[in-house]
Amino acid sequence: RKKVTIAELQQKKQKKEKITMLTAYDYPTARILDQAEIDTVLVGDSGGMVALGYESTVPVTMEEMLFMSKAVARGIQSAFIIADMPFMSYQGSDERAVDNAGRFIKEAGCDAVKLEGGSDFASTVRAIVRAGIPVCAHIGLTPQTATMLSGFKVQGKDAEGARKLIQSAKDLEEAGAFMIVFECIPDTLAARITAELKIPTIGIGAGKDCDGQVLVYHDTVGLFERFIPKFAKQYLNLTPMIRDAVIQYKTAVETGAFPGPEHMFTMSQEELDKLY
Ligand code: KIV
Ligand code: NA
């Protein structure tokens, strides 16, 4: 498969073909998603939680995001790679935002960056796009600033909230975002904004009428047990399977069943004796 391009992602919207996105934070997972021909791989700051063990995405640093992004990029041949800009790497000034966005492209080999925020961040999106770096926007439930939203809840349920989301989506498109993620917004509102925008919309907890869907990889394969969000679907429950395999290994070592002859580098006793 050839490298996925922005033009192809935007054509998918026109052709009403769904865009697929999943997160990855390491090389083996990136390889699996690329082999499965997922369109876009997101190195989400959710990796701070599901791969690094933080309580939220707030403490995730640029260095951690770059570390995960580099590993993912090494495993991808054709999928379009988007990296999340971590909290406080783009809010301080547009200049800092451009510098930090550039690191994901120059140092990590990603194709685009994603940042959370509505109309207030249109200037930031414009600055990064002006530098030649594609930006995916992210509105609705924005986990980095969940405290400002008074918690993790559906956004845009009242008239004021809905109007704000519609305006944000328009402003971010106007600022040059090539795609936009909707997190936790009502399905009908997501459908309406999707129809009004030229750029593709990717939903997570935003109904089935977005132009594409994204989930956190660890939620889809059962690798994150702390909680499972309502919008996630588990296609496989890996944690107990991996735990069983680890217990089998442990027991085999303890009982002497492992290693077997096929795992050893053997030398006859006679040959060894000759060395003495
Ligand atoms: O960090 C992440 O995984 C995300 C997606 C859930 C959109 O931002
Ligand atoms: Na994120």
The CATH number for 70's domain is 3.20.20.60
Q: Is residue 51 part of a domain?
A: yes
Q: Which of 110, 216, 223 to mutate to test the pocket of ligand 1 (most atoms within 8 A of CB)?
A: 216
Asked whether residue 126 is domain-assigned, the answer is yes
* 221 shares its domain with 260: no
Using the CB atoms, write b or e for 101-136: b if 16+ within 10 Å. bebbbeebebbbbbbbbbbebbebbbbbbeeebbbb
- Give the model's pLDDT for residue 39: 98
Task: Report the pLDDT averaged over residues 218-231.
Answer: 94
Task: Please state, for a pLDDT cut of 90, what percent of the chain lies above it.
Answer: 99
Handedness of CA 250, 252, 256, 261 (dihedral sign): negative
The catalytic residue among 160, 173, 183, 270 is 183
The single-letter code of the amino acid at 23 is T
Is 145 part of any domain?
Answer: yes
Torsion-angle region of residue 110: left (phi > 0), alpha (psi -120 to 50) or beta? beta
Tell me the C-alpha distance between 161 and 139, whole Å: 11
* Cα–Cα distance, 97 to 101 (Å, whole number): 6
Tell me: do 151 and 261 sit in the same domain: no
Find the 196 Cα to ligand 1 centroid distance in Å.
23
Domain check: are 116 and 208 in the same one? yes
Average pLDDT for the chain: 98
Kindly tell me if the per-residue pLDDT of 222 is higher than 90.
yes
Averaged pLDDT, 137-159:
96
- Ligand 2 centroid from CA 45, angstroms: 5
Q: Do 105 and 19 lie in a common domain?
A: yes
Residue whose CA lies nearest to ligand 1 atom number 3? 44
Q: Nearest residue CA, atom 4 of ligand 1? A: 44
Average pLDDT over residues 162-184: 98
Amino acid (one-letter) located at 199: I
Q: Is residue 167 part of a domain?
A: yes
Cβ of 44 closer than 6 Å to ligand 1, yes or no, is yes
1 within domain boundaries: no
Please compute the mean of the pLDDT values over residues 253-267 and round it to a whole number. Answer: 96
Phi then psi for residue 161, to 5 deg, are: -65, -40
Within a domain: residue 122? yes
In this structure, the answer to whether residues 269 and 197 fall within a common structural domain is no
SS3 readout for 219-236: HHCCCCCCCCCCCCCCCC
Checking ipTM against 0.85, whether it exceeds it is yes
φ and ψ of 260, to 5 deg: -90, 175
Residues 28 and 54 in one domain: yes
Q: Do 182 and 256 sit in the same domain of this protein?
A: no
185 and 259 assigned to the same domain: no
d(CA 175, CA 127): 9
Mean pLDDT computed over 174-187: 98
Return the pLDDT at 227.
87
- Same domain assignment for residues 22 and 67: yes
Ligand 1, atom 5, residue with closest C-alpha = 44
pLDDT of residue 151: 93
Cα of 250 from ligand 1 centre, angstroms: 35
What is the extent of the structural domain holding 269? 241-274
* 174 labelled catalytic: no
Q: What does the alpha-carbon distance between residue 72 and residue 67 come to, in Å, rounded to a whole number?
A: 9
User: Do 267 and 216 fall within a single domain?
Assistant: no
Q: How many domains does the chain have?
A: 2
pLDDT digits (tens, 9 = 90+) for 71-121: 999 999 999 999 999 999 999 999 999 999 999 999 999 999 999 999 999
Q: Identify residue 175 by its one-letter amino acid code.
A: A
- Same-domain status, 12 and 105: yes
Query: Which ranges in the chain belong to alpha helices (H)?
Result: 6-14, 27-35, 47-50, 62-75, 94-106, 122-130, 159-174, 187-196, 217-220, 238-255, 269-274
208 and 265 belong to one structural domain = no
